[in-house]
Amino acid sequence: MRYYLDTEFNGFGGNLISLALYGDEHRGSFYVEMPLDHYGPNIDPWVEKNVLPHLWGGGHVKTMEAASLALADFVHQAPPGFEIIADWPADFMFLCGMLDIDGKLAGFRMRYNEIKMRCVNTPDLSPWRIGKQHHAMDDAMTLAAWGRAGLK
C-alpha cells in the first residue's frame, strides 16, 4: 500500500501552506491547509501567484495542532507497513513535523508496525498531470498516476 505525499510551502525554507497524502488502491486521502497566520504575512511572490489561488479553504484550513491530530488519526487507519512516496525531501520534513509539533508527538496516538518513506526522482510529470500544478492534492494524485505507471 502506497500513499503519495506533496506539500506546498512559502518559498524555499518557508513555512508549510498545505499537505496532501493520496492513497493508492482507493485507500483514502488526507488534505489540510494551514491558516494564513502560519505562513504569512510575507508571502513569496511566486507562491502568491502560483500556489495561493489554488487553495480550497473552508473546512480544509486547520491549526497545526488540529492538523497534527487529524493526520495521526488518518495514519492510524492505514494498513501496517505502508509506504509514503514523495518527490521532494522537504515534503517528508513537513510530514514528520506535523506528526511531532513542538515535541508533543501526535504520533503517540498512532498504532502502526512500520512506515516506509521513499523520495523518488521523477521525470517531467506533465503526461500524468491531474488537476492544477502546485496544489498539494492534485500534485499528490499526479505523482500517484506516475507511480502506477511503473514505479517499483
Q: What is the pLDDT of residues 121-147, one digit of tens each?
A: 998 899 899 999 999 999 999 999 999
Strands of the sheet containing 2-9, edge to edge, are 29-33, 16-23, 2-9, 83-86, 116-119
Structural domain count, the chain: 1
Residue with cell 503519495: 4
Q: What is the pLDDT of residues 40-81, one digit of tens each?
A: 889 999 999 999 999 999 999 999 989 988 998 888 888 878
Q: Read off the pLDDT band of 112 (50, 70, 90).
A: low
83 pLDDT above the threshold of 70: yes
Residue 79 is given by DSSP the state P
The CATH code of the domain that includes 130 is: 3.30.420.10
Q: What span, in angstroms and rounded, lies between the C-alpha atoms of 28 and 40?
A: 30
Reported pTM: 0.91
113 pLDDT above the threshold of 60: no
Note whether 1 and 22 are within 8 A (CB): no
Residue type, 83: E
Domain that holds residue 62: 2-148
36 pLDDT above the threshold of 90: yes
